[in-house]
Amino acid sequence: MAAKQLSLFDRYIIISSLGASFKKLHPLTMMRNPVMFVTEVGALITTVSLFFQSPGESIGFGLQVAIWLWFTVLFANFAEAMAEGRGKAQADTLRKTRTQTLANRTLASGKTEKVSAEMLRKGDVVVVSAGEVIPADGEVIEGVASVDESAITGESAPVIRESGGDRSAVTGGTRVLSDQIQVMVTANPGESFMDRMISLVEGARRQKTPNEIALIILLSALTIIFLVVILALKCFGLYSGISFSITVLVALLVCLIPTTIGGLLSAIGIAGIDRLVQKNVLAMSGRAVEAAGDIDVLLLDKTGTITLGNRQAAEFLPAPGMTPQELADAAQLASLADETPEGRSIVVLAKQYGLRGRTIAEMPHATFINFTAHTRMSGVDIDGRQIRKGAPDAVKIFIGRDFPGPVAEALERVSRSGGTSLVVAENDRVLGVIHLKDVVKGGLKDRFTRFRAMGIKTVMITGDNRLTAEAIAKEAGMDDYLAEARPEDKLALIRREQAAGHLVAMTGDGTNDAPALAQADVGVAMNTGTQAAKEAGNMVDLDSNPTKLIEIVEIGKQMLITRGALTTFSIANDVAKYFAIIPAMLITLFPEIAPLNIMGLRSPQSAILSAVIFNALIIVAMIPLALRGVKFRPLSATSLLRRNLLIYGLGGLVAPFVGIKLIDVLAGLLP
């Protein structure tokens, strides 16, 4: 899916949103938003009251109030429809990528049969050759192939998918460019990754988040309070011999309840998900986006996230009594079965010592030990020699004793330089150290400084030793690090932070990351990762960029900041309108309150009508801000509160006075 930025004023979206605004007037739909439902009921009452006008009441005034109240409801619906329309446009783009695909399903006999992709079920095995479309989501169980995933990610560069690793997951609708793979189907029709994307992007499964529900309850409470105020005003009028018409009371109620944030609340949530989609991130729920905004602990893998991820063997450091040639020979033998980038770089570096042309196939009597995340070693058993290469602590356990002094000094020297050390051993003897170099990504230190200012703690996760981890964490500006980390260590760290009251976010791509992804408050799985990882996380990064987690947190923060800013603005608006309208309404009856009529509005009717018009137009004015979001700035909670109160609180207080007065003046100029 190409993450294409949609124009805020896309013609197609605007036209479709206008129609949707009227469809959303259905009471069952409006009841999901109590504030706007009250506004709609008020508009209906005002409209009906036009046919039951008391003598002396102006039908023109009542008609204008009714029209603008309906506009208020329609503008709020339009804001929500605009946000939904942007998501539906993304969903339409996805639907266009779907094709009717035939699959080569493998039978129990070993033969294959041509079937429609719609007939595939979980557990089926299909064969996909070069040029064919992968018919369903699945896991590669045999083979390796180059795959074009541009239909999903928008990225034209092909990716490698292979069995037995963390890059085994494939997505239906992508195309194999070379070779042949066998894929086990992991999703039934209608449950595929593409189906979920379409459903979630267009908002069909959007549920209100806990914070959103809490805010709706607050807005409902404020609405009830102002309803009581209006009823009290009616009672006061009856006691004082003042007659307030239904139209006036309804108009006053709508002006005083928080209609601005009530009308924009859904749009803010939908727009947050849309911004993630534009970054090629699929959020499984709005709750995940909201949680991203509340995150205060960020767990980031070192390799590929903090550093460039292309650790390469740079130097052989032989132990006393060993030559670089001998160390290179043993290191290469131990790395032939290591398919990691580090392992391959060791094989390449050893070629500088004349060690070329070695392959596993040429050594049939040798037993090769593959590298695993658990053992953190690879090696070979050949001619009575047990050669191992791996992390220092793993090799130390293998030889059963501490390293000699010169080897320990070499390890410390490499670690303090920010490099990574691997140790090579034969039987119970240490042969030397391999120096791996990596580079910290540019600009990360500044970003982590910004996070620190927001109260977010950043923790680097690495399998390296403590000295290396400390050096790189310091260079990158991280707050803390977890060295020599195993999958269970990540899980334990997340649980400790959560027990301390923190919300944690992390990324992962392998099956061994699944428990930690499921435990984290925000777990971002890489699209290139295993199916288990994608199912465990609550977000999927289609670009498989671990650094994306930083942007996800910023988008979540932006959504919460936008909601808070517009809530502050809306409530400040209500307070200002209260003091702007009430004095103008009562000044003819109580001349003593004339000093409170600081706006000098022409008449009580003009005050009411101007306020109603302003109340409707301010929703329209705020739609771009709700959809685009308040500009993200890395500030502390105190600084953010101060900024919101200064800009949106003070702005919300001033805007009604200026806007209502301007509308009153313009209305006075009309014939």
Q: Which residues pair with 146 in a beta bridge?
A: 160, 178
Q: Is beta strand 125-129 parallel, antiparallel or unpaired with respect to 159-162? A: unpaired
- Round to whole Å and give the CA distance between 444 and 449: 9
Dist CA 159 CA 167 (whole Å): 9
φ/ψ of 234, rounded to 5, equals -65, -45
Q: Two tokens at 499?
A: 């027990």
| CA 473 – CA 488 distance, rounded (Å) | 21
CB 124 within 8 A of CB 184: yes
- 361 Cβ contact partners less than 8 Å away, ≥ 6 residues apart: none
The dihedral of CA 411, 414, 420, 426: what is its sign?
negative
8 Å CB contact between 368 and 332: no
Q: For residues 68 and 615, what is the distance between their CA atoms, to the nearest angstrom?
A: 9
**Angle value at C-alpha 372, between 367 and 377, nearest 5 degrees:** 65
Q: Give ∠ CA 662-668-671 in degrees, rounded to 5.
A: 140
Q: Assess whether 301 carries a catalytic annotation.
A: yes
Residues 6+ apart with CB under 8 A from 159: 146, 147, 149, 167, 528
Q: Report phi then psi at 299, rounded to 5.
A: -100, 120
Beta strands 297-301 and 457-461, pairing class? parallel
Per the CB < 8 A criterion, the answer to whether 539 and 288 are in contact is: yes
Out of 137, 301, 509, 521, the active site residue is 301
Read off the DSSP letter of residue 538: S
> What residues have CB less than 8 Å from 4, skipping those under 6 apart?
93, 154, 278
Residues listed for the chain:
671
Strands 112-116 and 539-541: unpaired
- The whole-angstrom separation of Cα 271 and Cα 273 is 5
Helices 59-96, 604-628: axis angle to 10 degrees equals: 10
Q: Which among 466, 331, 461, 330 is positioned nearest to 411, based on CA atoms?
A: 466
Nearest of 336, 350, 433, 338 to residue 392 by alpha carbon: 433
Catalytically annotated residues: 301
